[in-house]
Structure 1
Amino acid sequence: MSHLDQIPPVIAILIAGFVLLGSVLTLLGTIGLIRLGSFYERLHAPTLGTSWGAAGILIGSMLMFSTLGSRWVIHEIFLGCLIMLTMPVTLMVLGRAALHRDRAEGRPPRGTEGRQEPLK
């Protein structure tokens, strides 16, 4: 008898749902990273994929191992907190560095060429 046979069907469906949701969000973040045109537009897609995608997968993993009672899930909570805190901050710092570089070179931010300036 496998240890997976010990998981009740309702919990198994919840686990599958969270893992599927996390996988879909990660896939959407990856597709956005590939498809979006400028550097500044591409900054938003990985935030969704890594933050909420990883959270869905981690919640599914925590549900499974807490149901089986085979190990603690504290390290998964720690990983989730680190991912949710560091990814948006890292991408914000990358965006600001790129904006600073573009302004220092005296050109508009990449991807905004041809756009009209907002009225002031």
Structure 2
Amino acid sequence: MNGMEHIPAWAAVAVSLLLVVGGSIILIGALGLMRLPTFYQRIHGPAITVTLGAGGVLLASMLYFTVLQSRLVLHEVLITLFVLMTAPVVSMLLMRAAVYRDLRAGKLDRTANDDVYGSMSKE
């Protein structure tokens, strides 16, 4: 009575595959958040994978409800757009705040980029 018996097998397989792939990507991002040693390394896991993993879960939801209701369901498109626009911006702002905090505390050297950009800045 939960609706799964009313959708075709191809849709159930596609929804299940999207959920497993999306959930796995989100899990990998969460493990990166837990396992990496510094903030600057930790922020990359969730920043990249949350968007992709959430996209897989939202595609599964769109497919499930579209097949179940026999009409195009696009509510998840708004959620996807919101996640795609906000997740990278939030991650960037967190990284900039951490850099600013570390510069103020003296943990970072302002000339740390001289190794990478040294030859370009001296020309």
Q: TM over 0.5: same fold?
A: yes
Which entry has the higher C-alpha Rg, 1 or 2? 2
> Gaps spanning 5+ residues in structure 1: where?
110-116
Task: Tell me the alpha carbon deviations over residues 83-114 of structure 1, each in whole angstroms, 9 at most, x when there is no partner.
Answer: 121111101001001101111222227xxxxx
Change beyond 3 A, Cα 1:68–1:41: same
Write the letter of the residue equivalent to 1:40: Y
Q: Is the 8 A contact 2:47 2:88 kept in 1?
A: yes
- Residue of structure 2 equivalent to 1:42: 42
Bigger share in helix: 2
Residues paired across the two proteins, number = 114
Corresponding position: 1:76 with 2:76? yes
> Gaps spanning 5+ residues in structure 2: where?
110-114, 119-123
Normalising by structure 2, report the TM-score: 0.81
Higher relative CO (Cα under 8 Å, sequence separation at least 6) belongs to: 1
Change beyond 3 A, Cα 1:96–1:119: closer
Identity, % of aligned pairs? 36
Q: Is the 8 A contact 1:26 1:48 kept in 2?
A: no
Q: Secondary structure at the match of 1:65?
A: helix
Q: Is the 8 A contact 2:4 2:12 kept in 1?
A: no
- Residue of structure 1 equivalent to 2:26: 26
